[in-house]
Amino acid sequence: MRFMGMATVMLLALTVRGDGVAPGKAATQADRVLILGNSITLHGPKADIGWHDNWGMAASAMEKDYAHLLVQKFTAARQGRAPKFLIGNIAGFERGYASADVAEVLKRYLELKPDLVVLAIGENIPAPKDAEEEAALLQALQALMTALRMEGKARLFVRGSFWPHAVKDRLLREACATTGGSYVDLSSFGGKEEYFARSERQFEHKGVAGHPGDRGMAAIADAIWAVIAAEK
């Protein structure tokens, strides 16, 4: 996923009531949902790789990427009332986590004041080469997740990598646990060819083809939703 474009966001502004997922309120009833990731979450048009859309690469339609499938699930759980939601690409943090200004990375996203956050990163993070790099990555992930939790005001759900990597996924899980989030394990997904877009249609760029297709996007959404639905 070296070809991620400039981070863009999508916002559906709806009138909502309440101050978030209050104690005793199911996570499925969140009013303001923030979904952050990389190109699997959102990627704008990039003609040189044959990608001409503005949603999660490489779903066949906006409503079929995992982020919009999650919004549909929230809407159904809320008896047809769509939550206010924001979808963003923070691939720049993945690549430059060592020097990233977390407050600056998240500034526009946290203006939503989310009561539930889905974080889906990892694929673009350089694999740590030694214990020192592992420690640096863990610290950066903890800083990011702590900020997303907004002093406990937001529930956090952290998705493991679609392209599994034992070390990076372990650090994502550890950072999630230490910041009070809930982890979504996708380690079983990597070997399932039917989840890749290349199994559904042809793409001119192998990198695009290696992203989740409609089946993969649906599987990701289902996995995340199962963890959200289990949290009361």
Domain ranges across the chain: 27-230
55: phi then psi, degrees, rounded to nearest 5? -155, -170
Cα 1 from Cα 210, distance rounded (Å): 9
Cα 123 from Cα 137, distance rounded (Å): 13
- Burial classification of residue 166, based on how many CB atoms lie within 10 Å of its CB (0-12 exposed, 13-18 middle, 19 or more buried): exposed
Query: CA of 195: how far to CAs of 42, 58, 69, 154, 231, in Å?
Result: 18, 11, 15, 30, 26
CATH number of 27-230: 3.40.50.1110
Contacts of 215 (CB under 8 A, 6+ apart): 194, 195, 199, 200
170: phi then psi, degrees, rounded to nearest 5? -65, -40
Cα 119 from Cα 121, distance rounded (Å): 6
pLDDT tens track for 191-205: 799 999 899 999 989
pLDDT in tens, the chain (232 residues): 433 433 434 444 332 223 345 556 899 999 999 999 999 999 999 999 999 999 999 999 999 999 999 999 999 999 999 999 999 999 999 999 999 999 999 999 999 999 999 999 999 999 999 999 999 999 999 999 999 999 999 999 999 999 989 999 999 999 999 999 999 999 988 779 999 989 999 998 999 999 999 999 999 999 999 999 999 7
* Strand pairing class (84-89; 9-12): antiparallel
125: phi then psi, degrees, rounded to nearest 5? -70, 125
Q: Provide the whole-model pTM.
A: 0.90
**Which residues, listed in sequence order, are joined to residue 11 by a DSSP beta bridge?**
86
